[in-house]
Amino acid sequence: MLFKYKRKGINKVKEKEQGKTDKNFDGEITTENISNLIKHSADIIFRDFYIKGKKPFRVTIVFIDGLVDTKEMDAFILKPLTREIDFSQCNALDVLYRLENNILFHGIQITRTELGQCINDIMSGSVALVFDEIKRAITFNIGEFEKRSITEPTEENVLKGPKDAFIESLRVNTSTVRRRVKTHSLVIEEMVIGEQSLTEVAIVYLDGVTNRHIIKEVKKRLSAIKVDAVASSGVIEEEIIDNKYSLFPQVLTTERPDKFCANILEGRIGIIIDGFPNTFIAPAALNEFLQGPNDYSQNFITSSALRFMRYVLMLVTLFLPGFYISVTSFHQEMIPTELALFIMAAKEGVPFPSFVEVIFMLIAFEVLLEAGLRLPKNISQAVAIVGALVVGQAAVEARLVSPAVVVIISITAISSFTMPDQDFSNALRIWRFFIAILTSVVGLYGLSVGGLLLLIHFAKMESFGIPYLAPLIAAEGKQLQDTLVRFPFSFMYKRPIDLKTSNKKRRS
């Protein structure tokens, strides 16, 4: 057999064909057509060889260097074709038929008759055998690329529970889910999003459990996404949520496979995006964002106390700055006499009203938090601690703020850190400013208006047809075993009512 090596295409392209783009997939599967579309890339390798059958005919192997396991390609494709298989009595159709019947002993191979499908397979890391004579190709999925190993979660720490986390490889992530949920009812459907990036997205659900209407709606919204590239997971999140102008998250984000699988078993739908370690779970209600990763690995009494505390701290981080502004500026009669005298003594010499003090400290806290996120990890904690101490102490000594305001903002900040979901915590921080501004205008009336507007906003929101305040609203209070507190597992024998699952029982 005669071999020839080529990296940038086998046939020279005419000038009029140089303007072709990846979207122009019209034409037959030939080496020339493939070369015209992707010849400009130095990492795409074309390799020709001639098979001596009834008459010699050319076969071209096309692959991307760096995305393909070349050792496996040599062992399972090139070596059998050149040394082990006798094609002396075969023509091109006979060779194709024998390859289609797995004489190369490779588990994942597809015969392609459309040019676009063949190009997409090559771009995804497959090896293509192109038969110019019969205008067809066989692609073998032997892709291999560098990926990081499975490590502990970095954003969702847990004391008792699995220590693995999702990574950037879609197939590794789906296999991790399969390892935990071994039932045949687990369905993983895939689609491609992004006209240029061609990002694979997996939809994971439990057949016979998950509501079919929710599955259909998730597929519909994902299919409607028309973007060039999925540069971040937020591209998909923003396109599938119901209310794009809400600060609060409407899908649950997690990097923990155990949390992901637990929600799938409850009847929710998981979304895994190739190239991102964070996965989405839908639909998601307010209650989901206040559940910590340790809630189901500790005693139910301990978990209930901690969860109830999170609800209280959510109210603290939202309303405490506004409450301080209102009682010190408008409703001093509400403060006990001794405490009022202490606050007045602490404010002596401070030229700014309480509203300005609180807003200044809230902004200073946000600046320090942002600086800590942008700095390298080995110095970010030191800078945050030193910055907080120096800024707080210097502000008090310079009489820019009173000590009471520093204490109030410290309690507010620490309360916000107890929120399990970072997106939800960020939304609370922005609403905190809004409520503080309202209270600076009309006092406790502004605090009431801010809380009422937030409650109305929650009541109007939905996630894939599920009320955001479910199960407090959708279930009419009938299923509260896993809301403000967590009951023992023996009490939670039914799946959430608001999900309207096909199989409503967790236990047989």
Domain ranges of the chain: 3-140, 170-284, 306-466
Report d(CA 116, CA 118) in Å as an integer: 5
Whether residue 176 contacts residue 471, with contact meaning beta carbons closer than 8 Å, is answered with no
* β-sheet bridge partners, residue 472: none
Average pLDDT over residues 228-245: 92
pLDDT at 10: 33
Q: How far apart are CA 382 and CA 67, in angstroms?
A: 41
Order the strands of the 109-112 sheet from edge to edge. Answer: 3-6, 44-52, 56-64, 127-131, 136-140, 109-112
Give mean pLDDT, residues 29-37: 88
Q: Which two tokens stand for residue 368?
A: 């320090």
Cα–Cα distance for residue pair 206/454, rounded to 1 Å: 34
Say whether pLDDT at 277 is over 50. Answer: yes
Q: Is the pLDDT of residue 108 over 80?
A: no
Per-residue pLDDT of 344-399, as tens digits, reads 777 777 888 889 889 988 988 888 888 777 777 666 666 666 666 667 777 777 77
The burial of 290, by beta-carbon neighbours within 10 Å (0-12 exposed, 13-18 middle, 19 or more buried), is given as buried
pLDDT at position 451 is: 94
In percent, the amount of the chain with pLDDT more than 90 equals 38
More confident residue, 59 or 39: 59
How many Cβ atoms sit within 10 Å of the Cβ of residue 432? 21
| Lowest mean pLDDT segment, chosen from 43-47, 111-115, 375-379 | 375-379
| Mean pLDDT (the chain, rounded) | 83
Cα separation, 352 vs 373, in Å, equals 30
DSSP per residue, 173-236: HHHHHHHH---TTEEEEEEEE-TTT-EEEEEEEETTTS-HHHHHHHHHHHHT---S---SHHHH
Across the range 282-286, mean pLDDT stands at 92
Q: How many residues does the chain have?
A: 508
Those residues whose C-beta lies under 8 Å from the C-beta of residue 392, and which sit 6 or more positions away, are 406, 410
β-strand partners of 57: 51
60: left (phi over 0), alpha (psi -120 to 50) or beta: beta
Which pTM does this prediction carry?
0.82
Residue 464 DSSP symbol: T
Confidence at residue 54, expressed as pLDDT on a 0 to 100 scale: 61
Q: Is the pLDDT of residue 21 over 50?
A: no
What mean pLDDT comes out for the span 284-291? 92
Q: Regarding predicted confidence, which is higher, 23 or 395?
A: 395
Higher pLDDT, 508 or 436: 436
pLDDT of residue 275 exceeding 80: yes
Is pLDDT above 70 for 4? no
Contact status, residue 355 vs residue 405, Cβ threshold 8 Å? no
What pLDDT score does 323 carry? 93
8 Å CB contact between 446 and 461: no
The pLDDT confidence band at residue 1, using thresholds 50, 70 and 90, is very low
CB 288 within 8 A of CB 266: no
Long-range contacts of 109-114 (CB under 8 A, 24+ apart): 109/138, 109/139, 109/140, 109/141, 110/138, 110/139, 110/141, 111/136, 111/137, 111/138, 112/29, 112/136, 112/137, 112/138, 112/139, 113/29, 114/25, 114/29
Question: Of the ranges 108-122, 178-192, 300-314, which one carries the lowest mean pLDDT score?
Answer: 108-122
Answer whether 122's CB lies under 8 Å from 33's CB.
no
Q: What is the mean pLDDT of residues 7-11?
A: 36
pLDDT at 104: 67
pLDDT of residue 7: 36
How does pLDDT run across 398-455, given as a tens digit for each residue? 777 888 888 898 899 899 989 999 999 999 999 999 999 999 999 899 999 999 999 9
Taking residues 39-60, report their average pLDDT: 78
Residue, of 169 and 507, whose pLDDT is higher: 169
pLDDT confidence of residue 221: 95
Taking residues 330-346, what's their average pLDDT?
Answer: 81
- What is the pLDDT, as a whole number, of residue 70? 83
DSSP 425-452: HHHHHHHHHHHHHHHHHHTHHHHHHHHH
Q: Is there a contact between 36 and 17 (Cβ–Cβ < 8 Å)?
A: yes
Measured from the Cβ of residue 26, the count of other Cβ atoms closer than 10 Å reads: 10
